[in-house]
Amino acid sequence: MVKVKRKKDSTLTNTVLIKEFPSGSISINKDDLVSEGNFQPLGRGEDEKKGLCHQFFINGLPRLKASINKIAFDDGESYLSLNRNFAGSEWIWDQFNKRLNLGIYMSNQYEFVNLKMPKLKKGSTQARSSSYTWQSIDPESFDKEVGIPNAKSLLENNGVKIIKKSELLTEPPSRDAYVAYWSADNELAPGLVYFILAFLPIAILSSAYSKPEIVVVDEPVLTRETMFYSLDELLSAGEKDTIECKSSMYFSAKSKTPPTTVNHEIIRTIVGMLNAKGGTLLIGVSEDKSSKEYIKKGIIGDFEWMEYADEDPKWIKRMGPLTPTWEDYQKVLRKGIMDKIGRTYFNSCIVINFEDIGYGKDNPVARIDIEPAPQPASDSSGNKHIRFANGTQQLPPDQENEYFKNRFPNLESLREDVNKL
């Protein structure tokens, strides 16, 4: 796919402010770059054909990364859809994945779409498995139906009007209905229209399904991430393939390590998540055996171990005295991951931060967000751990080979290219 710079009308802004808050704002902005390539037409079962992709970025929605495509073909056909580079509620993605594309039509110098939005079918009850389909909107109750105050005024203020199709077309249509139309040189209007008619109503409805995992999509790989979750949301979801809790960086049921060395259980979990869907590792959280609730204890115990355990002369010579602080705790964690797993994975797939549980950096919960690795990861002994359900394990050689063949489908061709070089 090729990106080309398009000439933009200097009289038009490339950003629409949707809503402003004291802490930020929700807005849409259009990318100046346009992608050239082959795209799927609006009609089902048709072969891909050459066209242009205009992209509109949605900014400011919490725990959501999304953008809107306008696909325009040489024959004049065009439509709007959600871009596959998406991070947000899994329920939202299930609604839009290969669905809810909105056709754009032309009349003289105007573009227009049928006035409709995703709704439940009549007689259906709202449930997680329900699929929303395009259905017409009554212009008289527009704001109420889309669920956004002043939505109609927002469209009108940005050059989008609502009228009967017969008032726009030169020839009477076979079936009259309401449409939203705008001047063809209004480059921002398509993204705003799709945002108001389709994306934001579905995003609002998704609040009823806030607990399912965050899904991250970047075609052709589908993976799950937790980096958009708060600490309380992670603990509410509980341990699973993408969430793991440890009470300490040094102590485990099997062993303890010096204060300058990361326990193998931490390394094992990180490798497992790198080789699976990614996820989040929390250090300083323990599970109450009777209530099964997660307790945010923090890492004060690890700080005490750093302060009172025997000193490591090699560490002191290389890194200086070890202090019981978050800053030195990070140093130990970073060095342990880079030594045991590799600097490449640390730089590209791992983010270390802390969660304040009321004591600031004096007793935080350590948080490690892990993205899926682009190729198999292993510890310093060559063990390729894999995260399954709420545990981490190694597979027998034949199963391991089959797993990595499916997990990294391009690995063999990559190896062939390296061998050729």
Evaluate if residue 21 carries a pLDDT over 60: no
Instruction: Output the pLDDT for position 415.
Output: 52
Evaluate if residue 416 carries a pLDDT over 90: no
User: What residue ranges define each of the domains in the chain, with the CATH number in brackets?
Assistant: 2-214 (no CATH), 220-408 (3.30.950)
> Residue 303 has which token pair?
């700080």
- The answer to whether 204 and 219 are in contact (CB under 8 A) is no
Average of per-residue pLDDT across 379-392? 91
Max CA-CA distance within the chain? 88
Q: pLDDT-based confidence at 58, cuts 50/70/90?
A: confident
Evaluate if residue 62 carries a pLDDT over 80: no
- CA distance readout (Å), 231 to 70, 97, 280: 36, 28, 10
Of 307 and 221, the one with more pLDDT: 307
On average, the pLDDT of the chain sits at 84
Evaluate if residue 212 carries a pLDDT over 70: no
Convert the pLDDT of each residue in 236-252 to its tens digit: 888 888 899 999 999 98
Whole-number percent of the chain with pLDDT over 70: 86
Instruction: Output the pLDDT for position 27.
Output: 84
Evaluate if residue 1 carries a pLDDT over 50: no
The residue with tokens 């682009």 is 374
- Closest residue by Cα to residue 66 from 74, 56, 58, 77: 58
Evaluate if residue 114 carries a pLDDT over 70: yes
> Residue 336 has which token pair?
């342990």
Q: pLDDT-based confidence at 12, cuts 50/70/90?
A: very low
Which burial class, exposed, middle or buried, applies to 220 when counting CB atoms under 10 A from its CB (0-12, 13-18, 19+)? Answer: exposed
Average of per-residue pLDDT across 99-117? 93
Instruction: Output the pLDDT for position 20.
Output: 67
CA distance 38 to 419: 32
- The answer to whether 179 and 142 are in contact (CB under 8 A) is no
CA distance 337 to 330: 10
Whole-number percent of the chain with pLDDT over 90: 44
**How does DSSP assign 316-349, residue by residue?**
HHHH----SSHHHHHHHHHHHHHHHT-HHHHHHH
Read off φ and ψ for residue 273, nearest 5 degrees. Answer: -70, -35
Does residue 307 come out as left (phi exceeding 0), alpha (psi in the -120 to 50 range) or beta? alpha
> Residue 246 has which token pair?
């440890």
Evaluate if residue 164 carries a pLDDT over 90: yes
- CA distance readout (Å), 264 to 250, 255, 294, 341, 418: 9, 9, 22, 11, 31
List helix spans (H) across 82-182: 90-96, 142-146, 151-157, 165-168
Convert the pLDDT of each residue in 284-335 to its tens digit: 999 988 888 999 999 999 999 999 998 899 999 888 899 999 999 999 999 9
